[in-house]
Structure 1
Amino acid sequence: MILANPGLPGLQMTLLLPMAISLIYLSKLKLTISFLINFTCLLVIYFMSEASRADMTPYEYFAYLFIIVAGYIVYLAVIERGAEVLSTLRQAAEKEEDLLIQNRVMERLSKTDALTGLYNHKTFQNTLDTFVQRADQSAMQLQLAVLDIDNFKSINDNFGHSAGDSVLKHVVKVILEKSASNDVVARYGGEEFAIVFTEKNFDQALASLEEMRRAIAELRHPEIGGGTVTISAGLQNYYGSLSKSEFFKKADTYLYDAKNNGKNQVQHSRSYNYFV
């Protein structure tokens, strides 16, 4: 275009456009290559085209060269500044991501029990409240089980709290393995656990709970000399207008019935509008 219009002043400035386009990539290498090519083209145009030399004074020629060099310096400064801005934004994004991860970790820690990784007492109460409200409004099937490891105090007394912690972890592992993905398992306190069964009828929840009880009773614990532990549990089916506190109290009452009737068993009731 420049060679075809040698008499058109200022057309050489179009050589700045490829350099300007390289700013999109914020790449010094691309800008430098573009500058060298454009600078070379300007030299070629002047020395290889008689028409260009005839219509261009030496002052104009050197002015064009100077503008090309000045444009390169300005664009280079723009790229460096853009790189600084991107670096700042990247660091800010990384800090925000780190903060988000920390917040998620803290949120998880605030919701879970440190030893077992299960939901803690507070989270269980909030979750149970939500499920009870939903069940009351939509008549969804809901069961609550309260479990307790039998004679757990004797384990701590005879083998130490470290052995007791290991036994707790083993028991929790079995409970989680026998629970469905939509069940909510929480450590209610000490050696006591709570399970909210959802999307099950009463028989299915009872079968799942019995399977846990049997698997735990068969599990050997090397921390206590290869001995076994058992659990007692109470299971309550939800029915309309039953409050959260009453719901839990009934399941807890059945737990104590299981304890008083010999332990290693599940006590429950099929009354109160039992869902088939």
Structure 2
Amino acid sequence: MNSSSVHNSQIPTEYESKHSKWIRKMLHAYWVVVIVHFLIQVGCYLFLKYDRALPDFIVNVLFWPTAISMVCILLASYVDRRFPSCSFTTMSVASTVIAWTIIHVNYDIRIMLAICLLPIFASVLFFNSKRVWFVFSLQMAGYALLLFDPAYRAYLNSFDMVSIPVFLILATYVAQIIVTSGVEVLEDLQQSMEAKQELIVRNAIIAKQSKTDGLTNLYNQSSFKDFYEKAIEYANSGMSLHLALIDIDNFKLINDTYGHRVGDIILEKVSRIIQESITASDIAARYGGEEFALLMLEQSFEQAYNLVEQIRQKISLMGHFELEGAAITVSIGLKGYNLNLSKDKLFEEVDACLYAAKRTGKNKTVTSLIPA
């Protein structure tokens, strides 16, 4: 990992969105710390030998430390609601005051010093190096302020004076290692997710390309055959199905006269008209050269006939700049499926209808039900 990533240690945006949630969780944890400390002090006074007089105990051990801690938590909660951008700073200051207040009350219990680690390790949740070292500076400030108390200073020996700052530095260093490792894990996770998303998109593109014709953006012949098989299964269960074959008239002459590039443009235009005319339940494909296949589901024969006629008429009425303003026509074969037909027989009969349309003048739709 490069130095700039470690230096900035900025967590990804989706984790920043949980900022306020973590702040609230930590403030709830400090409520627990304050309440537990209060109860432990009362229990110690009642059941253990305690060398403080009752008024001194109530005022200096229970009231003031608890009141200061509660005010800090309430203030941090208010800032989190009203000024979210300042919530981390306020929470860190509040937690530092709470930690060193408890340490001050219990300075004769050496293990109590560990409570100042809570703000440091809470800062790890935000995966930001600057925040970790900011909280460390607050702990050092709390320690320095506590040294102004003669009773606390008198309790410390020379080793304590040095070991406490070293203890804080080492704890912060460990927290920094956790942050750095966490950022690396998050970056690896983000890269993995991006790679996975890219792979999904690429596979989707490949899957689409394998199913569609690159020129017309309709389904290709292979995909049409798969849909045709499935459509026959549906038709056998009672769904209506009609098959149409659409062929551009005199397409070879267009290619020979104007070139294959113009021929491609004509194919694109015809496919666009087909796409714009069919319903969401219909399936259109480029079946070969200048031939298109159309499966129409959930329609009556009259609806299917009207649809393909609409396509034929739209195409015949459209002039083409590429053909010097001339129009083109298409011939169409159409037939509905019934249980007496196999899928191959249906295709053969529709193809025969298409041939009949070509042979009897072109620019027409021929079916087995409506005379040519």
* TM-score of the superposed pair, with normalisation by structure 2: 0.70
* Residue of structure 2 aligned with 1:169, choices 268, 273, 276: 268
* Residue of structure 1 aligned with 2:174, choices 38, 62, 74: 74
Is 1:253 the counterpart of 2:352? The answer is yes
* Deviation of the 1:125 alpha carbon: 0.3
Q: Which runs of 4+ in 1 moved over 4 A?
A: none
1:125 is matched with 225
2:21 is matched with none
Is 1:104 the counterpart of 2:204? The answer is yes
Q: Choose 48-57 or 81-90, whichever is displaced more.
A: 48-57
* Conserved 8 A contact 1:3-1:49: no
* Deviation of the 1:51 alpha carbon: 2.6
Post-superposition Cα deviations, 1:185-241, rounded to whole Å, max 9, x if no partner, equal 100000000011112111111111101000000001111111110011111111125
Q: How far apart, in 2, do the equivalents of 1:64 and 1:188 lie?
A: 82
2:9 is matched with none
* Residue of structure 2 aligned with 1:31, choices 114, 117, 132: 132
Q: How far apart, in 2, do the equivalents of 1:65 and 1:242 lie?
A: 91
More helix by share: 2
- Secondary structure of the residue that 1:3 maps to in structure 2? helix
Q: How many residues align?
A: 269
The one-letter code sitting in structure 1 at the alignment partner of 2:218 is L
Q: Choose 83-92 or 177-186, whichever is displaced more.
A: 83-92
- Secondary structure of the residue that 1:143 maps to in structure 2? strand
2:122 is matched with 21
* Residue of structure 2 aligned with 1:136, choices 229, 236, 258: 236
Structure 2: gaps (5+ residues): 1-101
Is 1:179 the counterpart of 2:283? The answer is no
Task: Summarize the Cα distance change of 1:241–1:79 in structure 2 as closer, same or farther, 3 Å threshold.
Answer: farther
* Deviation of the 1:175 alpha carbon: 1.0
The one-letter code sitting in structure 2 at the alignment partner of 1:10 is I
Q: Which has the higher contact order (CA 8 A, sep 6+)?
A: 1
2:34 is matched with none
Is 1:2 the counterpart of 2:80? The answer is no
User: What CA RMSD, in Å, does the superposition of the two structures yield over aligned residues?
Assistant: 1.4
The one-letter code sitting in structure 2 at the alignment partner of 1:35 is F
1:204 is matched with 303
Percent of paired sites with the same residue: 33
The one-letter code sitting in structure 2 at the alignment partner of 1:258 is A
Q: How far apart, in 1, do the equivalents of 2:280 and 2:148 lie?
A: 79
* Residue of structure 2 aligned with 1:83, choices 183, 190, 207: 183
* Conserved 8 A contact 1:237-1:270: no
